[in-house]
Amino acid sequence: MRQDPTTPVIAIHGGAGTISAGTTTAAQTQAYHAALHAIVAAAQAMLLDGASALDACCRAVELLEEHPLFNAGHGAVFTHDETHELDAAVMDGATLAAGAVAGVSHIRRPVRAARAVLEDGAHVLLAGAGAEAFARDRGLEMVEPSFFSTEARREQLHRVRGTGRIVLDHEGAAMAAAEASMSATPIDEDRKFGTVGAVALDRHGHLAAATSTGGMTNKRVGRIGDSPLIGAGTYADDRTAAVSCTGSGEMFIRAAAAHDVCARMAYGGVTLATATRAVVHQVLPAIGGTGGLIAIDRHGNLSLAFNTEGMYRGHARGDEAPHTAIFGDSSK
């Protein structure tokens, strides 16, 4: 008997963090909403045309990488040495195939390199010069590291580097007070996590996830966060859910956060909402972890959970109009 096609669902995030509603201008808020809406709509159109969840996720993340408002690709943050090191990962829930790259500085679209690693199949994670050599061999577009630079990110590094901090704990009240007078951007870019990601369920009932990031401002050269680590910041399994995370990467690694969501569903029989709530509001805070995640389960249920003031996010179900949000209820 022929089964009806699954209603496709797409969700994206552009990072979580301390995003102050009280100091955000209408124009800045609108710029983020417009970018999120356009990217969700593009991926939604692909899914409605029958594209795979993996294709839709990769396209959404590519568009996020190309947008300077977000910390991935063009507009990525700087390391302490004023360089760029980018990470990305993709995972196909239908096969559990995964690919990732870490610490790259010349690959224009890191998510494409991660997808190429997945398709090659020999390895899951390639880093640094080896990842870049692989990308060149696959004919991917290469750029000079300056391609990723923006003056806003450079100024951000100079502000943060002067404090001797690695921008991570965006909820510290003392840091908020100390930086309030220095921040030139009302949506305090110095204290938000700019990782981007996408999760999708396609018409065939398959799930996928993709994540990309420039890391943390003023991070030590060579630091790798959770985004390219399968099971930490990115995971997808058709039996449970697809997950993409954003936040204090070291804590997400320690908690194996993305996989923990799926494991709770598989072994504990809990719902997506219960699993994501436990990870985001209990497991991570217990070890000082802040941030959020987006997730879709095999039934099309959606969770956009975060334990910070806000998370840039957007989603669409079927042919319904895309919905975007920055603040508000962390379950939506």
Return the pLDDT at 102: 97
The beta-strand segments (E) located in the chain are: 9-17, 86-92, 97-104, 125-127, 196-201, 207-213, 234-236, 241-247, 291-297, 302-306, 310-317, 323-325
User: Which is catalytic among the residues 195, 211, 217, 276?
Assistant: 195
> Is 225 annotated as contributing to ligand binding?
yes
Helix (H, G, I), strand (E, B) or coil at 120: helix
> Is 310 annotated as contributing to ligand binding?
no
Give the Cα separation of 245 and 276 in Å (integer): 11
Give the Cα separation of 283 and 3 in Å (integer): 38
Domain tally, the chain: 1
Is 7 known to be catalytic? no
DSSP class per residue in 240-269: SEEEEEEE-HHHHHHHTHHHHHHHHHHHH-
Return the pLDDT at 20: 64
The tokens for 213 are 């990031």
Return the pLDDT at 200: 98
> Is 248 annotated as contributing to ligand binding?
yes
CA 256 centroid distance within chain: 15
| Encoded amino acid at 72, one letter | A
The tokens for 260 are 């923990």
- CATH code: domain of residue 52: 3.60.20.30
Give the chain's radius of gyration (CA, Å): 18
> Is 18 annotated as contributing to ligand binding?
no
The beta-strand segments (E) located in 270-319 are: 291-297, 302-306, 310-317
Counting runs of H as helices and runs of E as strands, what totals does the chain give?
10, 12
- Dihedral pair phi/psi, residue 22, rounded to 5°: -70, -20
Dihedral (Cα; 113, 117, 97, 94), 10-degree rounding: 50
Return the pLDDT at 215: 87
The tokens for 62 are 């590519």
Give the Cα separation of 66 and 77 in Å (integer): 14
The model's pTM is 0.90
Give the Cα separation of 19 and 325 in Å (integer): 12
Instruction: Let me know if residue 235 belongs to a domain.
Output: yes
Instruction: Let me know if residue 331 belongs to a domain.
Output: no
Instruction: Let me know if residue 104 belongs to a domain.
Output: yes
Distances (CA, A) of 233 to 35, 115, 325: 23, 16, 21
3-state helix, strand, coil in the chain (%, to 5): 35, 25, 40
Q: At what angle do helices 110-120 and 128-137 cross, to 10 degrees?
A: 80
Cβ atoms of 47 and 41 closer than 8 Å: no
Return the pLDDT at 176: 37
Instruction: Let me know if residue 177 belongs to a domain.
Output: yes
Beta-strand relationship, 125-127 and 97-104: parallel
Give the Cα separation of 292 and 264 in Å (integer): 17
Instruction: Let me know if residue 2 belongs to a domain.
Output: no
Domain limits for position 61: 9-325
Instruction: Let me know if residue 3 belongs to a domain.
Output: no
Residue position matching structure tokens 């302490």? 80
Give the Cα separation of 88 and 102 in Å (integer): 7
Which residues, 6 or more positions from 290, have their beta carbon under 8 angstroms from its beta carbon? 16, 17, 169, 170, 171, 247, 248, 251, 284, 307, 308
pLDDT along the chain (332 residues), means of 10: 77 83 78 97 98 98 94 88 93 98 97 98 98 98 89 80 56 35 42 82 98 90 95 98 96 98 98 98 97 97 95 97 88 54
> Is 203 annotated as contributing to ligand binding?
no
Other Cβ atoms closer than 10 A to 153: 22
> Is 105 annotated as contributing to ligand binding?
no
Instruction: Let me know if residue 332 belongs to a domain.
Output: no
Give the Cα separation of 262 and 260 in Å (integer): 5
